[in-house]
Amino acid sequence: MVLKVAKRGAVPPFIVMDVLREANARAAAGEEVLHLEVGQPGTPAPGPVLAAAHRALEQDLIGYSDAMGRAELRHAIAGHYRHAYGVELDPARVMVTTGSSGGFLVAFLAAFDVGDRVALAAPGYPAYRNILTALGIEPVVLETGPEDNFQPTVAHLEAVEERLDGLILASPSNPAGTMVGREQLAELMAYCKARGLRFISDEIYHGITYEAPAASALAFGEEAVVINSFSKYFSMTGWRLGWMVLPEDLLRPAECIGQNLFVSAPSLSQAAAVAAFDCYDELDGLVAAYGANRALLLEALPKAGFGRLAPADGAFYLYADVSALTNDSAAFCKRMLAETGVAVTPGLDFDSDRGHRYLRFSFAGRKDDMAEAARRLQAWLG
Ligand SMILES: Cc1ncc(COP(=O)(O)O)c(C=O)c1O
């Protein structure tokens, strides 16, 4: 008898992971591959985090925490809001999660029912729509482009004719790296509040900004669901740790969902992550290095033929319109990897309708690799 494979689990692949597999296979076969595909810092966690992890391994039980997270870490996260935004936050509103990815799952389950409709920008981080779809929640795509800085506006929301139940905003965004200003953030939040939409603010790239610091939704009201992570600014991707700041009405539902889905976020990571908030100088040094990579690529990529780039005010990505070079960015990226050893991500990951005209460069790696990638691409495209 043939057993059923559920349709709800048939989410599209996260193409960048497929590119990474191919890039790693080439590297294993001895090719010198330059990784501009994957969005992760090329550095380990800060030294004090590693030291705290070693101490915890020797002295700590590393058992479960409660589903909201270790008290000491929730307290340190609340302190981070004072440091980074001048906002006072009650640690009781913080839930520690298994990366921001675990946070999305808990937040969407707590806030939305099957059949609800949640707006999000395209291009955008693909897991939002794939998690929503797997949960039976309908993603409503707001098409954004250079004219609106690749960010949703109130006009986009007003143009949606059917009911909406929520909005997901990422500023700085992945893949464009663009940001909304304080005014636009306040406007979007006010629109959502007035119409009963849940406002979900993905703040995972906060701290990695080049022009102006990012504003947190938390500064504009207590109704937003704020999601953040240790993966990017804190350089701790594989530690699988993130957090949410929740409005009062979602706290207990999220706690119950967390108890059942995860029991607790990884305890070793929680013990270590407390030390991350003593490392701002070291972490800001990493941001300065991303800034140098960004400047290098902003100068070199146009010379190599990639002239139409989103502004990248934050995060570590350059989203390039390559319609003058190809109409099939997936095939283009495959050929680029095969012929130059430079791995980048096709835009299809972020925008299923228009992504065939775009690709994303990640500049989270080493500066030498950025310079070498630009050199190879310039030689490749002549
Ligand atoms: C915008 C955005 N949100 C969330 C994530 C997920 O990160 P994590 O689960 O490691 O916190 C990523 C990862 O690249 C991302 O780009």
CB of residue 202 inside a 6 A radius of ligand 1: yes
> Of all atoms in ligand 1, which is nearest to the CA of residue 240?
10
Q: State what percent of residues in the chain have pLDDT above 90.
A: 92
Hey, what amino acid is at 268? L
Radius of gyration of the chain, Cα coordinates, nearest whole angstrom: 21
Nearest CA to ligand 1 atom 7: 100
DSSP 13: P
CA of 204 to the centre of ligand 1 (A): 7
> Of all atoms in ligand 1, which is nearest to the CA of residue 101?
9
pLDDT of residue 19: 83
pLDDT of residue 247: 97
What would the two tokens of residue 161 be? Answer: 């004719």
Query: If pLDDT is split at 50, 70 and 90, which confidence band does 5 have?
Result: confident
CB of residue 178 inside a 6 A radius of ligand 1: no
* Contact criterion met (CB below 8 Å) for 81 and 88: yes
Please give the Cα distance from 145 to 80 (Å, whole number).
Answer: 33
CB of residue 125 inside a 6 A radius of ligand 1: yes
Does a cis peptide bond (omega within 30 degrees of 0) precede residue 123?
yes
CB of residue 130 inside a 6 A radius of ligand 1: no
Please give the Cα distance from 148 to 190 (Å, whole number).
Answer: 19
Please give the Cα distance from 327 to 323 (Å, whole number).
Answer: 6
CB of residue 242 inside a 6 A radius of ligand 1: yes
pLDDT of residue 13: 78
CA of 380 to the centre of ligand 1 (A): 31
**Cβ neighbour number for residue 3 with a 10 Å cutoff:** 4
> Of all atoms in ligand 1, which is nearest to the CA of residue 237?
10
Among the listed residues 100, 91, 87, the one whose alpha carbon sits nearest the alpha carbon of residue 218 = 87
- Which residues on neighbouring strands pair with residue 97, listed in sequence order? 242
**Average pLDDT, whole number, for the chain?**
95
Please give the Cα distance from 295 to 363 (Å, whole number).
Answer: 10
Interval 151-183: pLDDT, tens = 999 999 999 999 999 999 999 999 999 999 999
pLDDT of 121 > 80? The answer is yes
Strand locations in the chain (E): 34-35, 94-97, 117-122, 138-143, 166-170, 198-202, 225-229, 242-245, 317-321, 342-343, 345-346, 358-362
pLDDT of 82 > 80? The answer is yes
DSSP 309: B
Hey, what amino acid is at 182? R
CB of residue 39 inside a 6 A radius of ligand 1: yes
CB of residue 149 inside a 6 A radius of ligand 1: no
Q: Is 305 left (phi over 0), alpha (psi -120 to 50) or beta?
A: left
CA of 242 to the centre of ligand 1 (A): 9
Please give the Cα distance from 329 to 312 (Å, whole number).
Answer: 20
Reduced to 3 states, what is the DSSP secondary structure of residue 83? helix
CB of residue 99 inside a 6 A radius of ligand 1: yes
